[in-house]
């Protein structure tokens, strides 16, 4: 187990290095710079600002200076938010995004797993058909479309829910719904498939032949094995949450890390773009390692190499 974790961490760090290199050089290949759209800035002031942030140096030297700073835990100062460091902004905004993602994950699991089980148990019946339609629609509808529709319908037309920020529990309803719709539908579809497979296994038929009640067969025998692919999906789901969260935060004006990342791209805030990318990447790598460990704990028969 320890050897596997160490290997995954090393691979993750190498992946993070690759992402950092690609992001840095692609970002600098785009024409323009962070001071191109500054109002009333003369060439002398622009040159002074570039020298202050080290943007006047060769690109390789810029990358090396930035990379050595990151190794020390310093993401540098924000170019656009003067007087604030990138790490300070991330630590301020990330809890908002993490809370939204956490609620969304819970909703997706609490709704998706039971729906998938119900569909499998009622295979071929009308309830199964309704749930399959929901799962298909949930996978097919893009997130930004769902955000726009819910915002207009419940926030503007019906005026039932607040549309901006996260000031109250009611503010969470539309963002969580928009963010959880796809993973809930995906989990439902996956859970139905794995549950049907588990219910057809020999150990389930043996348990039924011994007179074990249906509820015990489903929850003790079938569900434990059927839920393993859902655990595997937690890693990619968290990746979807962290990236899809950017769109949701922008639409619903949520002051989280996603909105900050989008703003940094629009404003060409180089240090903020890099800091957010690295921070999110490290979190995703850590989540995937934790999911793999949880997979082993749930099913000790699995060997991790």
Judge whether residue 240 has pLDDT over 80.
no
Query: Using 50, 70 and 90 to split pLDDT, how confident is the model at 38?
Result: low
Give helix 86-121 / helix 257-267 axis angle, nearest 10°: 120
Judge whether residue 205 has pLDDT over 80.
no
Residue pair 258/245 in contact by the 8 Å Cβ criterion = yes
Q: How far is CA 103 from CA 84, 107, 149, 238, in A?
A: 29, 6, 21, 12
Judged on CB neighbours under 10 Å (0-12, 13-18, 19+), 260 is buried
Residue pair 190/226 in contact by the 8 Å Cβ criterion = no
The sign one gets for the Cα dihedral 204, 208, 210, 211 is: positive
Mean pLDDT of 253-274: 84
> Which range, of 119-128, 169-178, 228-237, 254-263, averages the lowest pLDDT?
228-237
- Rounded CA-CA distance 185/140 in Å is 10
User: For residue 185, what pLDDT is reported?
Assistant: 92
- Rounded CA-CA distance 166/100 in Å is 9
- The neighbour count for residue 133, using CB atoms within 10 Å, is 10
Judge whether residue 58 has pLDDT over 70.
yes
Q: Which is more confidently placed, 241 or 103?
A: 103
- Rounded CA-CA distance 259/249 in Å is 5
> Which range, of 38-47, 112-121, 230-239, averages the lowest pLDDT?
38-47
CATH 1.10.3720.10: which residues of the chain?
A: 87-298
- Rounded CA-CA distance 196/226 in Å is 8
User: For residue 110, what pLDDT is reported?
Assistant: 92
For residue 63 the two structure tokens come to 């990358």
What is the C-alpha R_g of the chain?
A: 24
User: For residue 212, what pLDDT is reported?
Assistant: 66
Instruction: From 246, 296, 288, select the one nearest 16 (Cα to Cα).
Output: 288
Q: Which is more confidently placed, 146 or 45?
A: 146
Q: Which is more confidently placed, 277 or 31?
A: 277
Q: What is the mean pLDDT of the chain?
A: 82
Query: Using 50, 70 and 90 to split pLDDT, how confident is the model at 252?
Result: confident
Q: What CATH number does domain 87-298 carry, 3.30.70.100, 3.40.50.970, 1.10.3720.10, 3.90.1150.10?
A: 1.10.3720.10
pTM for the whole structure: 0.79
């Amino acid at each position: 187990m320890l050897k596997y974790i160490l290997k995954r961490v090393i691979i993750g760090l190498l992946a993070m290095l690759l992402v950092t290199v690609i992001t840095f050089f692609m970002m600098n290949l785009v024409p323009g710079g962070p001071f191109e759209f500054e109002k009333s800035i003369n060439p002398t002031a622009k040159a002074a600002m570039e020298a202050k942030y080290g943007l006047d140096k060769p690109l390789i030297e810029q990358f090396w200076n930035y990379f050595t700073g990151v190794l020390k835990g310093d993401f540098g100062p924000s170019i656009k938010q003067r007087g604030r460091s990138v790490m300070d902004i991330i630590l301020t905004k990330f809890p908002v995004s993490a809370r939204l993602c956490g609620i969304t994950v819970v909703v997706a699991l609490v709704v998706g797993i039971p729906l998938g089980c119900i569909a499998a148990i009622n295979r071929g019946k009308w309830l199964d058909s309704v749930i399959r339609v929901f799962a298909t629609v949930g996978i097919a509808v893009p997130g930004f479309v769902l955000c726009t529709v819910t915002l207009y319908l419940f926030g503007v037309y019906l005026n039932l829910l607040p549309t901006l920020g996260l000031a109250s529990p009611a503010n969470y309803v539309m963002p969580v719904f928009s963010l959880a719709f796809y993973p809930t539908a995906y989990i439902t579809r996956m859970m139905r498939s794995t549950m049907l497979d588990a219910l057809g296994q020999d150990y389930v038929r043996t348990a039924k032949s011994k007179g074990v009640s249906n509820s015990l067969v489903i929850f003790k025998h079938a569900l434990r094995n059927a839920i393993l692919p859902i655990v595997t999906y937690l890693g990619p789901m968290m990746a979807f949450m962290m990236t899809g969260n950017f769109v949701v935060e922008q639409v619903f004006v949520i002051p989280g890390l996603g909105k900050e990342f989008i703003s940094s791209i629009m404003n060409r805030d180089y240090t903020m773009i890099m800091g957010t990318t690295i921070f999110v990447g490290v979190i995703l790598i850590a989540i995937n390692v934790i999911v793999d460990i949880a997979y082993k704990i749930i099913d000790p028969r699995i060997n991790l190499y």
